Amino acid sequence: MSGICNRREFLKRCSIGMAALGLSQPGKIFAKNRNKPNIVWIIVEDMSCHFGCYGETSIRTPNIDQLAAEGVKFDKAFITAPVCSPCRSALITGMYQTSIGAHQHRSGWGTEKIHLPTKIRLVPAMFQEAGYYTCNGFIDNRKKRPGKTDYNFEYDKAVYDGTDWADRKPGQPFFAQIQLAGGKGRTKNTPEPIDPTEVKLPPYYPDDPVIRDDWAQYLNAVMNTDIQVGQIVQRLKDEGIYDNTSIFFLTDHGISHARGKQFLYDEGIHVPLIVRGPSLKAGTVREDLVIHIDMAATSLALAGITIPEWMEGKDILAKDYQQRDHIVSARDRCDETVDRIRCVRTDRYKYICNFYPKRPYLQPCAYKDKKEILKTLRRLHKEGKLNRDQELIFAERRPKEELYDLQKDPWELHNLAGDDSHRRILSNMRKILDQWIRETNDQGQYRESKAMYDSDMKVYVDGIRKRGGEEWIEHAKLIERNIALMKKWQAEGR
């Protein structure tokens, strides 16, 4: 059969399919969207850049490496918040979470709600308007369970048409978000588990069996993530749509660990970002700084949709794109734990501003403190078994500012903020941050209202208690004690 016959037959089938769906102009959607690429976002939980293509040597990640080889790999991609809900609120709007008031983790979940500024729209809504089918699901689509959103603001659930692109109309392009468990799926269960003795820990974590075993399980989770990415790619190939699909692969923040998730060290904010698609040059490696909200603008551009003026993310694949010379990332309240940290990162330096210097880094946080790795670290700290670098995160008070020379000190262990020879760099970094706070109107500069905090805490504690059992009741009590401590510290001006 010739190609023409194939196409004619295909068009005929589409028309029949559309007519069956009761559409008055069956050819319209197909004709309008024929050449539009599908866009797939693979969003992985809690994982740093521990992939072969990013230099990890202790495990193999062939599928993700292949994706990078076929597309563009960003070596210096960062998220604008090192925790789920602010990060995901930013991702889906292409805006800093601090610009839209979605910066406090799990906020607006109780009786107090957060509403987006009226001009701000969600990326899937814009795709829908352009004729795309939009879906958000977990990789196991058979469950038909809606994928994780975790947005801190109110939004119309109808921005997602479904959970899987299988349900789109014939010929309709799609925008799909696929959620993977990533680092939350720490396990021993993977085809070739890594031996914990082969694990190489960062120097700021002690060589302890619990820490080592956990890191090994995390690397097993990285390998499982790689297998899942392979499955997604295979499905697209089997359906004959791989060549017309642009895939974005990224994680929502770094590894959940003492200095990772919730913090602005690179372990928390440096993430993998790979873009592979029909219009992109294979094997491209980008060394410039990008942020995860750029994905919103870039995806719209790939689909030929106009990027709205208000969007803070940039089309990083545009021909006239001006590379960033710095990025800004922000951490605010995480669950019950009140905090505000901002960082500016250039290619060489990291500047961190701690807005609560009178508080320890590791403030009580029930979610984190429940983890065996944190319990172990706290025990070793108490027993005096940690070295100077491992003790840093246990400081009872923090410096107001931190400055690291990432070229000489990639693990961010030697604070140069008080160093005379870095005074000019420090002053420049301060200026960049001040300007960013002013220009984006960083909402973190205004204290969260008591009503919002109390409303969110009620939902949080009630939810834990509802899980039932002695263990969760005790956990709820711990959160309540932490909440009381937060209020006490606030009253003391700490």
Could you give the CA distance from residue 383 to residue 30 in angstroms, rounded to a whole number?
67
| Nearest residue relative to Ca ion (C-beta) | 84
Residue 249 near residue 273 (C-beta atoms within 8 A): yes
Could you give the CA distance from residue 341 to residue 328 in angstroms, rounded to a whole number?
11
| β pairing state of 38-44 and 245-251 | parallel
Closer by beta carbon to Ca ion, 84 or else 464: 84
Closer by beta carbon to Ca ion, 245 or else 251: 251
We find the least distance from the C-beta atom of residue 46 to Ca ion, in angstroms, to be 5
We find the least distance from the C-beta atom of residue 48 to Ca ion, in angstroms, to be 12
Could you give the CA distance from residue 30 to residue 16 in angstroms, rounded to a whole number?
12
Determine the distance from the C-alpha atom of residue 314 to the mean position of all C-alpha atoms in its chain, rounded to a whole number.
17
Closer by beta carbon to Ca ion, 81 or else 464: 81
Closer by beta carbon to Ca ion, 107 or else 390: 107
| β pairing state of 341-345 and 349-354 | antiparallel
Closer by beta carbon to Ca ion, 39 or else 84: 84
Closer by beta carbon to Ca ion, 106 or else 169: 106
Q: What is the DSSP string of 60-116?
A: --HHHHHHHHHSEEEEEEE-S-SSHHHHHHHHHHTS-TTTTT--STT-S-SSS----
Could you give the CA distance from residue 64 to residue 230 in angstroms, rounded to a whole number?
8
Binding-site ranges for Ca ion (CB under 5 A): 45-46, 84, 252
Could you give the CA distance from residue 306 to residue 120 in angstroms, rounded to a whole number?
14
Look up residue 433 and give its two tokens: 């941050």
Closer by beta carbon to Ca ion, 85 or else 390: 85
We find the least distance from the C-beta atom of residue 252 to Ca ion, in angstroms, to be 4
- Residue 138 is inside which H or E element, if any? strand 133-138
We find the least distance from the C-beta atom of residue 157 to Ca ion, in angstroms, to be 21
We find the least distance from the C-beta atom of residue 41 to Ca ion, in angstroms, to be 14
The DSSP output letter for 335 is T
We find the least distance from the C-beta atom of residue 351 to Ca ion, in angstroms, to be 25
Closer by beta carbon to Ca ion, 38 or else 89: 89
CA distances from 223 to 310, 361, 413 (A): 38, 31, 29
We find the least distance from the C-beta atom of residue 147 to Ca ion, in angstroms, to be 13
We find the least distance from the C-beta atom of residue 151 to Ca ion, in angstroms, to be 13
Residue 78 near residue 271 (C-beta atoms within 8 A): yes
Closer by beta carbon to Ca ion, 253 or else 314: 253
Phi and psi, residue 336, nearest 5°: -85, -10
State the amino acid at position 277 in one-letter form: G
* 327: CB partners within 8 A, 6+ apart: 78, 80, 289, 290, 291, 344, 345
We find the least distance from the C-beta atom of residue 179 to Ca ion, in angstroms, to be 10
